[in-house]
Structure 1
Amino acid sequence: MNNRIANVAVLGGILLLGLGGGYWLADMRAAQPAAVAPTPEKKALYWYDPMYPQQKFDKPGKSPFMDMQLVPRYAEADQTPDSAALRIDPSLTQNIGMRLTPVTRGVLASSLELPATLAFNDRDVAVVQARAAGFVERVYARAPGDVLKANAPLADILVPEWAAAQEEFLALRRSNDAGLLAAARQRLRLSGMPSGLITQMERSGQVQSVMTITSPLGGALQTLDVREGMTVAAGQTLARVNGLGTVWLQVAVPEAQGAALAVGQVVESRFVGLPGRTFSGTVSAVLPQTALDSRTVQVRVELPNPDGALRPGMTAQVRLTQSSGQSVLWLPSEALIRTGKRVLVMVAEEGGRYRPVEVQVGTENQDQTMIIAGLQEGQQVVASGQFLLDSEASLKGLTPQSPAESAMSLQPGGRP
């Protein structure tokens, strides 16, 4: 009995010690700080220079472009839907004066404002020559620069060899031989006698050996190379007359805009000496040779001059306009970021996001630039403050979308 009681006492002591040890271990574990789970190391996809983000490197180091260390680009950033876009707080956009403009569609038209000089129309020229050898008997009161009417007399020339031929013709006319008379009349024509002079001789029955040289058309007398008493040879040039019914505008168009020129293109011109008047004409010729000194294409514009108000030598300001009827995308030129190698824009998206996009541009007209690829109609583009956004995008290493990537994202099912 005593032994059983002793055994029970020993077992009770052991249980009490076990319980006490358990509580002590529990207190010790509770007093120790909990172990921190190790943070997984971020994986860098590549390294880049923030000032030249389009170039990627496969290991860290110093930038070959700038005196700075390369910055890592982590995989988590590329897996984020907005990794290629900036988020700007709406209040900040107001502070920096950011302004948006839409991409619009319109008809392709070009307009150039250029200086021009008025000149004679070299297609409207008359050259007066002596039809037979003779002597100048009289010179009318004319001088180079005079404006003449058509058939205005210039000089009288005596042609001795016509006298014998005309006397023969008058003798044959008395014979009433029609065949011989026709042959004699043909001989007079071949000798250079004008038809009007032959008719006058037939009507008067008298020899007409003096020929009056007249102006074939109305215009400005350019040259007059006859003097009273001088001898002239057959075919000798006596005078030159330029018509004034139409005149030429000589325009030098820059070589870069020469491809848009075409014959028949409408031109509006204004002259310093004729304020308040606008003259409309058309391009009559685009010369095939480019001026080497100025790198310009020479264009001739034909202007009607019914009242003679346009005088060669006058200066003018012309506007060349052309419309192909082709519908294209337009964007204000101020929204473009030209880096020298490419052209970028900052496209505004929902949620205050702004994405750099590379675009292909065409011609520029009146502060508007044609967009060939990279954008679509209705998109909002930053027109003011875009350079600040571009700098921020470069610092963050955001690579602009190429025109092909932008086209894919704009397709149904693509990322907006």
Structure 2
Amino acid sequence: MSQSTGKQGVVLALTLAIGAGAGYWLAQQGRSAAAPVAGDQKALYWYDPMYPQQHFPAPGKSPFMDMQLVAKYADDTSAEPQAAVQITQGVQQNLGVRLATVGRGRLQPMLQVSGVLAFDERQLSVLQARTAGFVEHTYGRATGDVVAKGAPLADVLVPEWAGLQEEFLALQGLGDAPLRAAARQRLLLAGMPAELVERVARTGKVQPVLTLVAPNAGVIQALDLRPGMTVTAGATLARLNGVANVWLEAAVPEAQAQGLREGQEVQARLPAYPGQALPGKLTALLADADPQSRTLRLRIELPNSDGRLRPGMTAQVALQPAGQADDSLLLPAEAVIRTGKRDLVMLAEDQGRFRPIEVVLGQESAGQVAVLQGLQAGQQVVASGQFLIDSEASLKGIEASTAQDVPPTAAQPELHEADGRIVQLGERELTIAHGPFVTLGMPGMTMTFPLASPALAAGLKVGERIRFGIRQRDEGMVIEQIDALEGQP
């Protein structure tokens, strides 16, 4: 065995010893915090705190860890389960227990997803042969070249056009306007571009050779033109895709797609250009979902005026779904114990008592998670050290209260709406001459209401008519919603 391997073994053994010691010490401290046991009381069995399901008939050293077995008495929590685990303040400090208060707020979720750049298919152009001919000359273009609009690709000889053009020139010399117009229309129907017909009429010479040009600026994706080859009518000769904009194709889990909307602004960052945030727009939430990954596909459009964004590049995208309309209970995500079947938190009570509570969770963002059921505002939960306490609760046979056993969180007070005219604007309040609030039974009058957020008053002017909503809070009726009434004085 090498020296490094030996050191690793020592470190692993030391780690296991420390973990075992912590569990044993917590069990002993929990026992000391409980009611004292009479000295003449008979133990039911002995157990190892790190392996409590195995019972032993006599005291001694654990066969699993290097520690003494712990006695279990008839009045312990296994015989009559306690409602909570009790831990003294000093033990809490030694364990690093940290509490967090359940409060109300609004989540502003932010999604970070990865995507791949692709061509904008709306800028795809296809160049086809309008009639049969022969390729006489090419201009050295190849697949992948970036060309400007009107760039020459090849010269094609069209023998059929020579006879039609001679007929047109002969009729043009007769001075018969209707015949000349009919001959001109025949050239256009034969597939000649209008600019070629104009050149024939202007020069008075037959132009049997057509120069094929790029219909738009972009990248040549396919080019089937070689000197001497025969061209048939309707054959695809070239495909070009513009690069003024590119698509960023990404996917988000369907459970996190709520609140995303077409037209919202996004920020993209590419490994090729570190430190730069590129603005874009979410243009489409595609209609189908991936049945394997259960994700929704997004299409994001990024401007590419300088041409540095290349299809195939990867990018990270920051998406901000619409925030919650109402306040909800918020909890630090680190406080949640996720078992895979349910979500638990350790509720802190008076005198150092803790008990597990099952909760129903909502959206999660920026380290905060919404609680739909199981807790009340102002309660405290364990944000650090909850796993050790949960282990002790399991050891004592304490069952977690289910979300159905806990009253649901109080519903939000009703939002009351009315029309009004702004009389005075303040930094955090509005004075409004409003009409009646039907749901409140309040008649119309002029009142001053505080704003839930100063941002609600952005862009408003004195005298403007609005539709606004108020909700009862601790500080009284507060404005939570404002909509301008357009087209009204």
TM range (shorter): 0.7 to 0.9
| 1:157 matched to 2:133 | no
Alpha-carbon distance in 2 for matches of 1:137, 1:113:
53
Tell whether the 8 Å contact from 1:84 to 1:400 is kept in structure 2 after alignment: no
| Larger mean Cα displacement after TM superposition, 376-385 or 347-356 | 347-356
Task: Give the letter aligned to residue 147 of structure 2.
Answer: L
Residue 331 of structure 1 aligns with which residue?
A: 331
Alpha-carbon distance in 2 for matches of 1:273, 1:348:
49
Task: Give the letter aligned to residue 188 of structure 1.
Answer: L
Alpha-carbon distance in 2 for matches of 1:331, 1:66:
36
Offset at residue 176 of structure 1 (A): 3.3
| 1:407 matched to 2:407 | yes
Q: Secondary structure at the match of 1:185?
A: helix
Alpha-carbon distance in 2 for matches of 1:101, 1:91:
18
Task: Give the letter aligned to residue 407 of structure 2.
Answer: A
Task: Give the letter aligned to residue 387 of structure 1.
Answer: F
Are the structure 2 counterparts of residues 408 and 160 from structure 1 closer, same or farther at C-alpha, using a change threshold of 3 Å? closer
Task: Give the letter aligned to residue 393 of structure 1.
Answer: A
Residue 374 of structure 2 aligns with which residue?
A: 374
Task: Give the letter aligned to residue 90 of structure 1.
Answer: Q
Offset at residue 172 of structure 1 (A): 2.5
CA deviations 1:29-73 (Å, max 9, x no partner) are xxxxxxxxxxxxxxxxxxxxxxxxxxxxxxxxxxxx987999789
Offset at residue 115 of structure 1 (A): 3.2
Percent sequence identity over matched residues?
Answer: 51
The structure number with the bigger radius of gyration is 1
Q: Tell me, which stretches of 5 or more residues in structure 1 are unaligned?
A: 1-64, 412-416
Q: How does 1:4-403 map to 2 (within 5 A)?
A: 84-254=83-253, 257=256, 262-291=261-290, 296-327=295-326, 328-403=328-403
Task: Give the letter aligned to residue 315 of structure 1.
Answer: T
Are the structure 2 counterparts of residues 339 and 230 from structure 1 closer, same or farther at C-alpha, using a change threshold of 3 Å? closer
Offset at residue 265 of structure 1 (A): 4.6
Task: Give the letter aligned to residue 167 of structure 2.
Answer: E
Residue 437 of structure 2 aligns with which residue?
A: none
- The size of the alignment, in residue pairs, is 343
Alpha-carbon distance in 2 for matches of 1:164, 1:409:
87
Residue 46 of structure 1 aligns with which residue?
A: none
Alpha-carbon distance in 2 for matches of 1:292, 1:67:
48
CA deviations 1:164-195 (Å, max 9, x no partner) are 22222223333333332322222111110111
Are the structure 2 counterparts of residues 404 and 392 from structure 1 closer, same or farther at C-alpha, using a change threshold of 3 Å? same
Tell whether the 8 Å contact from 2:200 to 2:206 is kept in structure 1 after alignment: yes
Task: Give the letter aligned to residue 329 of structure 2.
Answer: L
Are the structure 2 counterparts of residues 410 and 105 from structure 1 closer, same or farther at C-alpha, using a change threshold of 3 Å? closer
Tell whether the 8 Å contact from 2:376 to 2:409 is kept in structure 1 after alignment: no
Q: Secondary structure at the match of 2:130?
A: coil
Alpha-carbon distance in 2 for matches of 1:296, 1:404:
31
Q: Secondary structure at the match of 2:227?
A: coil
Alpha-carbon distance in 2 for matches of 1:372, 1:384:
22
Alpha-carbon distance in 2 for matches of 1:125, 1:172:
40
TM-score when scaled to structure 2? 0.62
Tell whether the 8 Å contact from 1:111 to 1:366 is kept in structure 2 after alignment: yes
More helix by share: 1
Q: Tell me, which stretches of 5 or more residues in structure 2 are unaligned?
A: 1-52, 57-71, 412-489
Tell whether the 8 Å contact from 1:108 to 1:323 is kept in structure 2 after alignment: no
Alpha-carbon distance in 2 for matches of 1:269, 1:409:
38
Tell whether the 8 Å contact from 2:259 to 2:323 is kept in structure 1 after alignment: no
| Larger mean Cα displacement after TM superposition, 250-259 or 348-357 | 250-259
Tell whether the 8 Å contact from 1:247 to 1:305 is kept in structure 2 after alignment: yes
Tell whether the 8 Å contact from 1:119 to 1:313 is kept in structure 2 after alignment: yes
TM-score when scaled to structure 1? 0.72
Alpha-carbon distance in 2 for matches of 1:290, 1:410:
36
Q: Secondary structure at the match of 1:138?
A: strand
Task: Give the letter aligned to residue 202 of structure 2.
Answer: R
Offset at residue 292 of structure 1 (A): 6.2
Offset at residue 222 of structure 1 (A): 1.5
Q: Secondary structure at the match of 1:403?
A: coil
Alpha-carbon distance in 2 for matches of 1:340, 1:146:
53
Task: Give the letter aligned to residue 335 of structure 2.
Answer: A
* RMSD (Å), alpha carbons: 3.3
Tell whether the 8 Å contact from 1:329 to 1:376 is kept in structure 2 after alignment: yes
Alpha-carbon distance in 2 for matches of 1:397, 1:275:
54
Task: Give the letter aligned to residue 364 of structure 1.
Answer: E
CA deviations 1:303-355 (Å, max 9, x no partner) are 11010111122222333332234343322221112233221112223444434
Tell whether the 8 Å contact from 1:266 to 1:282 is kept in structure 2 after alignment: yes
Alpha-carbon distance in 2 for matches of 1:303, 1:174:
55
Alpha-carbon distance in 1 for matches of 2:410, 2:204:
94
Tell whether the 8 Å contact from 2:263 to 2:283 is kept in structure 1 after alignment: yes
Offset at residue 244 of structure 1 (A): 0.7
Tell whether the 8 Å contact from 2:150 to 2:213 is kept in structure 1 after alignment: yes
Alpha-carbon distance in 2 for matches of 1:67, 1:334:
34
Greater RCO, 1 or 2 (C-alpha within 8 Å, sep 6+) = 1
Alpha-carbon distance in 1 for matches of 2:404, 2:291:
39
Offset at residue 287 of structure 1 (A): 4.2
Alpha-carbon distance in 1 for matches of 2:111, 2:368:
13
Offset at residue 145 of structure 1 (A): 1.4
Alpha-carbon distance in 2 for matches of 1:194, 1:284:
35
Offset at residue 402 of structure 1 (A): 2.8
Alpha-carbon distance in 2 for matches of 1:195, 1:408:
74
Offset at residue 232 of structure 1 (A): 0.6
Task: Give the letter aligned to residue 175 of structure 2.
Answer: N
Offset at residue 219 of structure 1 (A): 0.8
Alpha-carbon distance in 1 for matches of 2:140, 2:409:
81
Alpha-carbon distance in 2 for matches of 1:409, 1:295:
31
Offset at residue 142 of structure 1 (A): 1.2
Tell whether the 8 Å contact from 1:270 to 1:279 is kept in structure 2 after alignment: yes
Are the structure 2 counterparts of residues 228 and 341 from structure 1 closer, same or farther at C-alpha, using a change threshold of 3 Å? closer
CA deviations 1:366-403 (Å, max 9, x no partner) are 33322121123332211012223323333444443332
CA deviations 1:99-153 (Å, max 9, x no partner) are 0112233334433333332222222111111111111122112111111011111
Offset at residue 239 of structure 1 (A): 1.0
